Amino acid sequence: MSQMEPFLRNDQFNFIKEHVWKFAHAHATVKDADVIHALKYSAFDQIINTFYSMNEEQEELLKKILYVEDSSQAEQILTELKAYVISFPAVTAERIKKLFPKVKKLTMPPLEEKNLRNISYLGWNDVRSERKYIITTDQRRLTGVFGTFRSSPGKGICTICNKHEETGLFMAVVKAGKETYTSRGNYICQDSSRCNQNITDIRQLETFMYHLKK
C-alpha cells in the first residue's frame, strides 16, 4: 500500500479508538460470534458516517479494525492509524499574540510539549488571572477566544467532549451589537489535553464556538 496522506481528524481517531477497545472487550466477554459481528459492523457504519468522503484505500485501511480480537491487536491497529491523523496547524508564540491582540499580559501555552496530532483545539489556563484561552481551526484558519474560567466543585459534563470530567465555567465577553457586549459560555473541561483525548465529535466543539460568536 502506498503512503497515504493523513485523513483522520483527532476526534475521528478517538471515536475509532473507543470502538476498537469495545471490540477487544467483546471478544473477551461475549461468546456469541453473531453478536460480536453485529457489534463490529454497526460500529463500522457509524465510523464511516463521520466522513464526508472516503476513497477505497482509506476504507480498506479502516476495515482492519474489524479483525481486532484482543488488546494487542487493538494497540497495533491504533498505532498504524495514528500515522494518518491530521496535525493541528503549527502555532507560534507570535501567531498567538496576534490572535489575542487585546490581552496585554498573555500567558503562553507549552507549545513544545504539544503533539499536534492529539488535539482538535489548543486550550490552556492562566490560573493567576482565572482565564482560559482556546484556539480552533476552520479550514486551516485559526480563531482565538478567551474568557474567565472558574473551576466547579466535583465533576460535570463538558460541553465540548461530552464526558464526565473536572469542569469549570468558561465565560467570554462577546459583541452582541454595534456598541453592546454580552457574556456567553458554558461548562467545559479544566484540562484541555484531557478534553482533546475525549472528544469524539468535532461538531460539539464547533457548536460551542458558534454560540460564543453568534
Confidence bin at 177 (pLDDT 50/70/90): confident
- Count: domains in the chain: 2
Q: pLDDT tens-digit profile of 157-168? A: 999 999 999 999
What's phi and psi for 157, nearest 5 deg? -90, 125
Q: What percent of the chain has pLDDT over 90?
A: 82
**153 shares a domain with 119:** yes
Asked if residue 88 belongs to a domain, the reply is no
Q: What percent of the chain has pLDDT over 70?
A: 99
**128 shares a domain with 73:** no
**102 shares a domain with 68:** no
Q: What's the mean pLDDT in 86-96?
A: 93
**165 shares a domain with 63:** no
Answer whether 136's CB lies under 8 Å from 123's CB: no
- Higher pLDDT pick, 166 / 110: 166
- Closest of 142, 146, 140, 166 to residue 9, by C-alpha: 140
What's phi and psi for 143, nearest 5 deg? -130, 135
Mean of per-residue pLDDT scores for the chain:
93
Q: Cell triple for residue 14?
A: 478517538
DSSP class of residue 120? S
Question: In 3-state terms, what secondary structure has residue 149?
Answer: strand
**43 shares a domain with 77:** yes
Amino acid (one-letter) located at 30: V
Q: Give the pTM.
A: 0.92
Answer with the one of 27, 59, 82 that is the final residue of a domain.
82
**145 shares a domain with 122:** yes
**120 shares a domain with 37:** no
**201 shares a domain with 166:** yes
Answer with the one of 61, 82, 103 that is the final residue of a domain.
82
Asked if residue 61 belongs to a domain, the reply is yes
CB-count burial class (<10 Å; 0-12, 13-18, 19+) for 52: exposed
Question: In 3-state terms, what secondary structure has residue 117?
Answer: helix
Asked if residue 129 belongs to a domain, the reply is yes
Which CATH number fits the domain that encloses residue 48?
Answer: 1.20.1280.250
Cα 123 to chain centroid distance, Å, stands at 11
Q: Which domain holds residue 168?
A: 93-213
Q: pLDDT tens-digit profile of 180-196? A: 888 899 999 999 999 99
Asked if residue 3 belongs to a domain, the reply is no
What's phi and psi for 166, nearest 5 deg? -70, 120
**171 shares a domain with 129:** yes
No. of H helices and E strands in the chain? 7, 5
Question: In 3-state terms, what secondary structure has residue 40?
Answer: helix
Q: What's the mean pLDDT in 40-69?
A: 96
Asked if residue 177 belongs to a domain, the reply is yes
**54 shares a domain with 19:** yes
Answer with the one of 54, 82, 110 that is the final residue of a domain.
82
Answer whether 156's CB lies under 8 Å from 164's CB: yes
Helix (H) or strand (E) holding 151: strand 141-157
- Higher pLDDT pick, 103 / 214: 103
Helix (H) or strand (E) holding 33: helix 33-48
CA distance 35 to 169: 42
Confidence bin at 197 (pLDDT 50/70/90): very high
What's residue 1's pLDDT? 44
Asked if residue 23 belongs to a domain, the reply is yes
Q: What's the mean pLDDT in 130-138?
A: 94
**70 shares a domain with 20:** yes
Asked if residue 107 belongs to a domain, the reply is yes
- Closest of 147, 152, 115, 139 to residue 202, by C-alpha: 139
